[in-house]
Chain A
Amino acid sequence: MQSSPTTPEAVRFRGVTRRFGDVRALDAVDVSISTGETVAVLGPNGAGKTTAIGLILGLTAPTAGSVETLGQSPSSAVSSGRVGAMLQASGLPSYVRVAELLEFTRRLYPEPLALSAILERAGLTPLRDRRIDQISGGEAQRLRFAMAIAGNPDLVILDEPTVAMDVETRRSFWADMRRSASEGRTILFATHYLEEADQVADRVLVLDRGTIVADGSGSAIRGRVHARTIRFDLPGADAEMLAGVAGVTAMDIHGDQVKLTSNDADETVHSIYAAGLAVRNIEVTGAGLEEAFLALTDPDRSQTETNR
């Protein structure tokens, strides 16, 4: 592995805004990623993950601010062959075999890995002579991953890499990712699975509506989420009746059935009874990952966080 001689930073965003028409896909983002870090960019669809990746790779330019990749402009970093990337569901050429495509990709880089090593790492050795139009969605994802590492890059960028992979493939994929990371590579991947971010990354950036709402280790982020789901029946329930209930971050009413997401279940339950609401069949459960994530990216919730 060659390490960056000029700067320890693999990626640096300074006040980066990217606007598409009236939409601010990224809004004044400042972040820096050091060499050797494994970073997950976590966020719901439309949070700005793909835009951020496009900026790091020079596929798009910032509306304001500046982006540096490996201490240089993104397009020269990509041209130098020190960056490998796997884009979301990017196309693959028709009529070509797996090994042929990887051999071609190798030749684009100054210091590529050996073909056999690439095939082995991506678990593609048995598929080397298979035509690309005859492989499954999960196998195509492995092939895209293989293309990303073919050039033996210092920085690996992966946009939602495990989409379309089955559980087993996903497991071996991340095992290889950890191996790549242990060789000193910087890895940045986008995902909307909190679990993946938590298990694989040293650092998790949570992106929501174009801004970074949390930045820390997976466990630190998880610790910030104490969301619970509270379900009960309440005849004639409406949002107004429940407006005074404490700790609620999300509310879902279907007829008499109510589902609340709360960041303080004790307080919420207490205030339901204190308000004299005739609730029945009350049930408190740990929030699913999705609810936990909503709590984290909810604007009211983040306000509670900062006010604390």
Chain B
Amino acid sequence: MTRLGQPLPIALQTVAAFVRLELRRVVRNRRYLIFGVAFPTVFYLLYTGVLSGAAARSDAPVDGTTWGAYFMVSMATYGAIVAALGGANLIAQDRASGWTRQLHVTPMRPVAYVLGKLIVSYVVTVPAVGGVLLVALAVNHVDLPPATWLEVLTVLALGALPFAALGLLIGYVFGPDGAQGAVILSFLALGVLGGLWAPISSFPESVATIGRVLPSYDLAELGREAVRGAAVDPAVVLALAAYAAVISALVGWRYRAAERRSDG
């Protein structure tokens, strides 16, 4: 492909301009704000404050930390997953409407499109995670050292790579309607089975076994280790990286197929 032969400064300017445009689109999309940012924050409050039964008090001990901190990580992880997957809807829309085809007749290369979408999927996880953390701090007075707050935010946002990749994959596999269904199904399955809604230790062993291999469980584990002040477990990072690599390979395959289809 000769299309990569673009001077670097323009390519960077292109990606930057595209990311700016895409961020505007995401922020103005109510679905992102409701499901990615508002939903996890509200649920966090419901399950730790308003619904505070004996077992669900914010300061109740759970898994070496408090329920307030534990469920904060769960909901922040959930928000990160929903936000990162959200890219799928816009990609499916862009492909169906022919916007990607219009971009093909500009100097912007298709690889800049994929890169831009990936960056955006990453960036939009920050408010989703940050919203839950902020509420945990301000309302439930979850008590963590300042460095730990930053670590939780960083770990959960950066660790969202497999989900950002999964969002791209869904966007390249499904049409606009199918993509929306696939996104919802994915974050529900990843959320429930990965132990984000109820601790995985409360599951029957067979279900818990499935849950423990999901990347949603891994990502929440990273966050919980950070909260406990434990060192990052390399096995968990490796598992997430493996998911990211496999899904990215699938994205590359579907992306090339989509590029070939647009050739005609």
Contacts and interface: CB of A to CB of B under 8 A. Distances in A.
Decide if A and B are genuine partners.
Answer: yes
A81 B262 CA distance: 20
B2 A91 contact: no
Nearest to B98: A91
Nearest to A59: B104
B14 A87 contact: no
Interface residues of A, number: 37
A169 interface: no
A253 interface: no
Given A59-B262, A87-B101, A108-B14, A95 B24 contact: yes
Interface stretch (B105-113, B216-224, B229-237): B105-113
B107 to A, nearest CB: 4
A130 B9 CA distance: 31
Interface stretch (B89-97, B167-175, B201-209): B89-97
Q: State the main secondary structure of chain B at its contact with A.
A: helix
A107 B101 contact: no
Given A96-B25, A101-B21, A104-B18, A59 B102 contact: no
Interface stretch (A27-35, A70-78, A291-299): A70-78
A79 B102 contact: no
B107 A81 contact: yes
A73 B3 CA distance: 11
A67 B18 CA distance: 30
Contacts, number: 98
Contacts of B109: 79
A125 interface: no
A109 interface: yes
Interface string B235-264: 000000000000000000000000000111
B97 A92 contact: yes
A149 to B, nearest CB: 12
Interface residues of B, number: 35
Nearest to A148: B105
Contacts of A94: 25, 29, 90, 93
Contact of A108 (B3, B17, B100): B17
Given A104-B18, A104-B20, A78 B105 contact: yes
Interface string A197-219: 00000000000000000000000
Nearest to B10: A110
A100 B21 contact: yes
Given A75-B3, A104-B18, A93 B264 contact: no
Contacts of B53: none
A61 B29 CA distance: 37
A60 B13 contact: no
A104 B263 contact: no
Contacts of B94: 91, 93
B29 to A, nearest CB: 6
Given A79-B5, A79-B107, A79-B109, A90 B18 contact: no
Given A20-B264, A60-B263, A92-B97, A78 B107 contact: yes
Contacts of A91: 93-94, 96-102
Interface of A: 20, 54, 57, 59-61, 73, 75-76, 78-81, 83, 85, 87, 89-96, 100-101, 103-105, 107-110, 144, 147, 151, 157
25 contacts: A57-B105, A59-B104, A73-B2, A75-B2, A78-B104, A78-B105, A79-B107, A81-B106, A87-B98, A90-B97, A90-B101, A91-B102, A92-B99, A92-B102, A93-B21, A93-B25, A95-B24, A96-B24, A100-B21, A104-B17, A108-B107, A108-B108, A109-B107, A110-B107, A144-B102
What 6 A-B pairs come out closest when comparing CB atoms?
Answer: A91-B97, A107-B17, A91-B99, A91-B98, A85-B105, A90-B102
